[in-house]
A and B are shown apart, each in its own frame.
Chain A
């Protein structure tokens, strides 16, 4: 079946602009996660959605970052007033289990802020 998809695959933006990154999870998966992977760094948890529960936003680095998930499926990560340090690969993952067990990742969106 289809895996997690993300769009765009690459995004170049100017400092100060807003960007939106999209994630389509695996059909039927109730949990959705966003991570950030900076060059030479490990994966950094950003936010987690589970069904209709309030999202776990504890990993968001600043209030410029926000995310929403509509209809329990597609999610959008928004970064406002982008900074150069926001340049990274943003990865989305989904999981069929409430407890956050195996997570299946999309290909990522490479964001470059100039």
Chain B
């Protein structure tokens, strides 16, 4: 059965304190891994797609990496505006049109 597990559930950082969020997955034949950012009261905002182990994508202070079992979202020198819930998702092995989402990591960056 497909599974997506994110850790930690919540993370509090001081401004400038770099860290990483983890997304581990179990699926039969990975067809992409997606990272989203969700602000309170808003829909998820697409950040990255990763397709194969070793792939990396960067956007501002965020860098996503992928291995055969997990993905990391590295946040370098975060700012308070990076505070949000970060979600990862994978297409289901039986139907790529359905995404299985993790429960998210709630990131708070303190000034």
Contacts and interface: CB of A to CB of B under 8 A. Distances in A.
B99 A45 contact: yes
A57 to B, nearest CB: 11
The A contact surface, by secondary structure, is loop
Interface stretch (A64-72, A78-86, A96-104): A96-104
Given A42-B104, A43-B87, A100 B99 contact: yes
B98 A91 contact: no
The B contact surface, by secondary structure, is loop
Interface in B11-67: 31-32, 34, 36, 41-46, 49
Contacts of B95: 56, 58, 100
Given A42-B104, A43-B87, A99 B43 contact: no
Contact-size category for B: 20 to 34
Contact of B96 (A99, A105, A106, A108): A99
A103 B44 CA distance: 9
B53 to A, nearest CB: 18
A55 to B, nearest CB: 10
Contact of B101 (A43, A50, A102): A43
Closest 9 pairs between A and B when the two form their complex, measured CB to CB: A105-B43, A100-B97, A43-B101, A45-B98, A42-B101, A42-B103, A105-B44, A48-B97, A107-B43
20 contacts: A42-B104, A43-B101, A45-B98, A45-B99, A48-B97, A50-B97, A58-B98, A59-B98, A91-B43, A91-B44, A99-B91, A100-B95, A102-B46, A103-B46, A105-B43, A105-B45, A105-B46, A106-B43, A108-B41, A108-B42
